[in-house]
Amino acid sequence: MHAGRPLWVRYDLDAVKRAVRRDDLRSRPQTMWRYRELLPYEDERDVISLGETMTPLLECDRLAQHFGVRRLIIKDESRLPTGSFKSRGMALAVTLAQALGVTRVAAPTAGNAGGALAAYAAKAGLECFIFMPDDTPIVNQREAALFGAKAFLVNGLISDCGRIVREGAAGAEGNPARGGRGGEGRGGWFDMSTLREPYRLEGKKTMGLELAEQMGWTLPDVILYPTGGGTGLIGMWKAFAELSALGWLEAATRPRMFACQASGCAPIVNAFDAGERFAQPIENARTIASGLRVPGALGDFMILDAVRASGGRAMAADEDRLIEWMRLAGGLEGVSLCPESAACLDVLERALRAGHVGTQETIVLFNTGAAQKYVEAMAAELPRIDHRAVEWENMRA
Ligand SMILES: *Cc1c(COP(=O)(O)O)cnc(C)c1O
């Protein structure tokens, strides 16, 4: 029983140490499954995969120059299946759900989680139910339906969607995944909400494992991470602890973790500033960065603990500047930056100005999704041209 609190997967790291050396990874496929000793599945044949490729580290020299910093790297998660890093968590969660005999899954979402769950559920042949607030970005609504989920719009918040999913989920006793008979909940499905379900965290953890390996088993000075539910940040912090226990890291120092939120929904920032361990839920949360629109995170204390232990901070971006930052990254680097990660650039500017980040430090920013999924945020009218009377002078002006 977990009393509604998050579950935490532990590994016998001594056994892992004996089973694998970090150099053994070199010959493995370039996907998140290369870290299998640090993932909870047992049988290779159970893996539900859509090709979770390792994502590149993009050296962003022009953007670095804009900020006056020595080295700025974007880890570009936008090219994962369904265009966001949510696929890392869902690939593993669906793999485990299916292996444990679950046939029906459900989740609340205000953004990319729904499409990712729907896609992996489709691949696994599971029935999938998605509940989202009616102001969820249009692409997220339609992708869930496209991948065959039974997707519903709810005239409420993500927390209302979460309640519908909980009510419809089998109780712990009735849950076939925990040895019960199943089906007691009204919807008869398994609740895949992040941190209520323990494996999405383990999947997102692979961001941290991958980053360490790609940087030659060293870590950057600073990580800027767009934080909603916090699964990615908590997962990476867990990854660094596990790598450190295995003795795989070249140095003992860990990155300072910056939890970046948007001013329209910044509960973690409020708690950080107030010195609290738990966050007060935000009312009337509003931000175009839908992945950050999490008014009350179940793992709030885990985010805040990790941020503080790392010597980092939680900081809020100016909501009104998100599109400007998306354009800057797109125009200078050709990076398809999602509004959530645009918040990290605003935070970077503030953190540099306040001296929380130094110009000589190595900074890694996670681009958690593709800008193309946010057509509402991208909506810019282009000037029209009459092909019969092209006016070169006006175009050059
Ligand atoms: C879900 C999401 C986030 C927030 O992720 P957490 O790990 O839950 O904090 C950030 N960016 C995008 C694009 C997302 O879809």
The string of pLDDT tens digits covering residues 198-208 is 999 999 999 99
Is residue 226 within 6 Å of ligand 1 at its C-beta?
yes
Give 23 or 182, the one with higher predicted confidence: 23
Is residue 287 within 6 Å of ligand 1 at its C-beta?
no
Residue 317's DSSP bridge partners are: 262
What is the arrangement of strands in the sheet containing 71-76, beginning at the earlier edge strand?
57-59, 71-76, 362-367, 222-226, 256-262, 313-317
| 321 part of a folded domain | yes
Q: Are residues 213 and 343 in the same domain?
A: yes
Q: What is the pTM of this model?
A: 0.94
Structure tokens at 63: 């953007």
Q: Which domain holds residue 75?
A: 44-83+198-379
| Distance (Å) from CA 316 to ligand 1 centroid | 15
Q: What is the distance between the alpha carbons of residues 2 and 196, in angstroms, rounded to a whole number?
A: 9
Mean pLDDT computed over 223-247: 97
Give the pairing of strands 71-76 and 57-59.
Answer: antiparallel
| Distance (Å) from CA 172 to ligand 1 centroid | 27
| Distance (Å) from CA 227 to ligand 1 centroid | 6
pLDDT tens figures, 35-75: 999 999 999 999 999 999 999 999 999 999 999 999 999 99
Give the pairing of strands 222-226 and 362-367.
Answer: parallel
| 32 part of a folded domain | no
Q: Pick from 312, 298, 305: which is nearest to 276 by CA?
A: 305
- Count of structural domains, the chain: 2
Q: Are residues 287 and 368 in the same domain?
A: yes
Q: What is the distance between the alpha carbons of residues 174 and 334, in angstroms, rounded to a whole number?
A: 50
**Single residue among 172, 191, 210 that ends a domain in this structure:** 191
Give 298 or 186, the one with higher predicted confidence: 298
Is residue 339 within 6 Å of ligand 1 at its C-beta?
no
| 211 part of a folded domain | yes
Buried b (16+ CB within 10 A) or exposed e, 129-143: bbbbbeebbebbbeb
pLDDT tens figures, 151-161: 999 998 888 99
| Distance (Å) from CA 171 to ligand 1 centroid | 27
Q: Are residues 255 and 183 in the same domain?
A: no
Weakest mean pLDDT among 115-124, 178-187, 242-251, 294-303: 178-187
Report residue 216 CA to chain centroid gap: 23
Q: Are residues 74 and 212 in the same domain?
A: yes
Tell me, what's the pLDDT at 17? 96
Residue 186 and residue 223 in contact, taking contact as beta carbons nearer than 8 Å: no
| 37 part of a folded domain | no
Tell me, what's the pLDDT at 377? 87
Asked whether residue 173 carries a pLDDT value surpassing 50, the answer given is no
Residue of the CA atom closest to atom 3 of ligand 1: 291
pLDDT tens figures, 266-281: 999 999 999 999 999 9
| CATH assignment of the domain containing 311 | 3.40.50.1100
Q: Are residues 272 and 233 in the same domain?
A: yes
Q: Are residues 162 and 203 in the same domain?
A: no
| 387 part of a folded domain | no
Q: What is the distance between the alpha carbons of residues 200 and 50, in angstroms, rounded to a whole number?
A: 16
pLDDT tens figures, 322-335: 999 999 999 999 99
Q: Are residues 240 and 324 in the same domain?
A: yes
| 161 part of a folded domain | yes
Which uninterrupted H or E stretch holds 238? helix 231-246
Q: Angle 363-365-370 (CA atoms, 0-180°, nearest 5)?
A: 160
